[in-house]
Each structure stands twice: as structure tokens, then as C-alpha cells.
Chain A
Amino acid sequence: MSFERDLLAILPRLRRFAASLSHDRADGDDLCQAALEKGLRARDQWQPGTRLDSWMYRIMRNLWIDEGRARQRAARTFAPEEAGADVGYAGDKAVEQAMTLSDVDRAMQALPPEQREAIALVLVEGLSYKEAAAILNIPMGTLTSRLVRGRGALIELLGEAA
């Protein structure tokens, strides 16, 4: 009975996670909305007594990965034909991105997806290694090595020199 109410309670955190994965706030809200729809449709698969937030984080993360793959496929499909037009477009996009995104957003964008999701769950969402590894379905050692590499890159990108 309280499924929607529980979802509503964790929605601000889900929205934050979506924003930390996505290119910008609008993309983040699109992702969050899609995850909510999926969660509501799949509610029978959630086991009461288990963590709803972990379940929703996992749904959102899987959607985000699928979407990234689809985008890569599309890029490969269209690239040869429109290579010429693409160059100018990509340039505009890069300029726009540089102007509207903050340093932190840009640095997160630069990380490979598997590092970005690990960083987002642990540093932004504040989950334990155990919880994050379970959501990503990877061993703890894999998680920690992604955290080490991702953080090294972020320190570099953000110029967090001591």
C-alpha cells in the first residue's frame, strides 16, 4: 500500500543520483522519470522488506547504461554518412557544454561510465562499498579499484592540488 509513498520519500535522492550520472539537469530528470515509470510497472518484482532505494538505484543505473549503449550504436550507425556535418555539430556541442556546465559536471562527464557510477553511488549518494557493489553487481575489489582510478582522474581534472 505504501509503495508510492516510500518512492516519494526517496525521490529527492533518486533525482540527485540521476543528475550525477547525466549530462545535465534536464537529462537527469528524464532519466529519473523513466526510472519511476519502470519502478511502478515492475513493482511486483520488488520484495517488501528489502531496500527500495537500492532497488530503484539499480533500475535507474541499468536504464542509464542501456541508454548509453543505444546512443553509441546510433553514433556508429550514422557516423560515416554524416561525418562532415558531425564535426561542426560536435564542435558546437563541446563549446556549449564548456559554457553551461560547472567544473564538477564536466569532470564527471569525462569519466568512463563504470567509474562515474561507482563515484556517484559512494561519494554523492554516500552508500557503503557493500551496498554500492551489490547495486552494480560487481565484487568489492572491482568497486574499490574503480573508485581509486575515478578519483585519481577527478583530482587531475579538477586541479585539486594540495
Chain B
Amino acid sequence: MTDIDEAMLIAWVDGELDEVTRRRVDRAVADDPALAARLEQHRRLRARLAGHFAPIAQEDVPASMQAMLASPTVVPIARPSRRWSWVTGGAIAASLLLGLGIGHMSGGQDGPIAVRNGAMLARGSLATALDSQLASAGEGGSIHIGLSFRRKGGGWCRSFDGAAMAGVACRTDAGWQLLQAVSGKGQASEYRQAASADPRLLATIDGLIDGAPVDAQGERAAQAAGWR
């Protein structure tokens, strides 16, 4: 006979009993096979439930969710030295504004896209941003790089977001090929929703991506290797 109830058994399994009560349960269980069997049921149930859902927390999180959290304000990674950052940052910002804001799509020398052999290739300032800009540096130019990731079958892709245009480009031998481009959300303001959160782009990324986007370290390494 025992005064051990169901709540105490499950509290034992959940590790919620104080030492004294736990010993009391242990003693009762040792004397009572039926109680021992019930405790074992509860122990197995917890293990089965935890084991059933555990793999989900080991999976890579979908790119669409990662993209929601990939804001340029996130990462306080080392920036270039102060002395140069205003020069390069300013120059890049200005050239990007020219390229994407008022450049012509195909005719002008400064246009961000060239069509070669039926493929859209990034050129000029957009190509420069894709080559050299680090999302993790949080640079405040008119182009933000969103995610950098490996595509299925190999090769690097990056998503970007600018005032005039947002898209996904993948590195090929010929350069950065635009796989998708959508209209940007106009002039950047601090509160605008990035166009890179556009569901069409996220769907493209989900379709392309192999694993998870790289972190700041992986991004720097890939850039240093020339996105090869």
C-alpha cells in the first residue's frame, strides 16, 4: 500500500521532485511492481515524445525564416578601419545609387544588367556589390546583400535588395547570373520592409539552396575565394 499518486510519478519522471520525495517514490516503487510498471510507462512516454520531435530542432531552419532575421542591423562584425570606411562606403553607395536608381536596364553603360547568350548577368555596381559586399558588414549602401548560400549542384548564390530591384544571383563562369529580379521598394528608409522578403524570392531561394545560408565567417571565406 502506498500514498504515491500519479502526479508524483510524473513529477519523478520530469525531474521535479525534491530529494526527500524522490527517495520516498524510489522506496515505494521498489516494493510495488505495479507502481514500478506505471513509472516505467511514464518514463517511456516522455522518451518517445521527446525523441519523436527532437529531430526537428536539429534540422536546418527554412531559408524563408532565416531571411526574416537576416537584417543588416544584426551583426556587429569588424568593419573596415574608420579612415577608409567613409571613402569606400560613400563611393560604393554613390555608384550603386547611380547604377540601380537611375541607370538604364540595358542601354546605358551603367545599367545593372547585361544580357549575354540569353542569360541576365549582373554588371557594374551590382556585380561589384555581389563580388565584394558582405552582408555581415552591415554596409549601409543602397544595395543590401541578404543571404549567401551554396546551391544544389554546387556554386554560390546571393540575394540582394536595392531601391530599384531585388533578386537572387548565382555565380557562373561568365559572372553573376540573375535567376530572378523583382521591383525594389523605392528609396531605402529605415523602416521599409526589405523587398528581399518578397515571397517569390524566398520561394526561389528555398528551391535553390543546399543546406543553410553561410554565416559571417563562411561569407568572408567565400568572398576571399572569389565565389568559386
Residues of A within 8 A of B (CB): 1-2, 4-5, 7-8, 11-13, 15-16, 19-20, 25, 29, 32-33, 36-37, 40, 102, 104-105, 119, 122-124, 126, 128-129, 144-145, 147-148, 151-152, 154-155, 158, 160-162
A2 to B62, CA, bound (A): 20
* B106 proximal to A (CB < 8 A): no
A45 to B202, CA, bound (A): 28
Return the contact of A126 from the options B42, B50, B52, B59 (Cβ within 8 A): B50
Chain A's nearest CB lies how many Å from the CB of B75?
7
- Binary interface profile of B, 27-65, with partner A (CB < 8 Å = 1, else 0)? 000000000011011101110111011101111011011
- The reply to whether B56 and A15 form a contact with Cβ atoms under 8 Å apart is yes
- Binary interface profile of B, 143-170, with partner A (CB < 8 Å = 1, else 0)? 0000000000000000000000000000
- The reply to whether A19 and B53 form a contact with Cβ atoms under 8 Å apart is yes
A149 to B65, CA, bound (A): 35
Interface size class of B (residues with CB under 8 A): 35 or more
Q: Taking A147-B10, A155-B41, A160-B45 as contacts, is the C-beta distance between A11 and B65 under 8 angstroms?
A: yes
Q: Whose C-beta in chain B lies nearest to the C-beta of A2?
A: B74
Please list 23 pairs of residues, one from A and one from B, whose beta carbons are closer than 8 Å in the complex, sorted by A's number.
A1-B73, A7-B69, A11-B65, A12-B58, A15-B65, A16-B53, A16-B54, A16-B56, A29-B65, A32-B65, A37-B68, A40-B68, A102-B52, A123-B45, A123-B50, A129-B16, A144-B7, A151-B42, A151-B45, A154-B45, A155-B41, A160-B45, A162-B37
Chain A's nearest CB lies how many Å from the CB of B43?
10
Residues of B within 8 A of A (CB): 6-7, 10-11, 14, 16, 37-38, 40-42, 44-46, 48-50, 52-54, 56-59, 61-62, 64-66, 68-71, 73-76
A124: which B residues are within 8 A, CB to CB? 49-50, 53
Chain B's nearest CB lies how many Å from the CB of A126?
7
Q: Whose C-beta in chain B lies nearest to the C-beta of A19?
A: B56
Q: Whose C-beta in chain A lies nearest to the C-beta of B64?
A: A33
- The reply to whether B61 and A12 form a contact with Cβ atoms under 8 Å apart is yes
- The reply to whether A144 and B69 form a contact with Cβ atoms under 8 Å apart is no
- The reply to whether A158 and B48 form a contact with Cβ atoms under 8 Å apart is yes
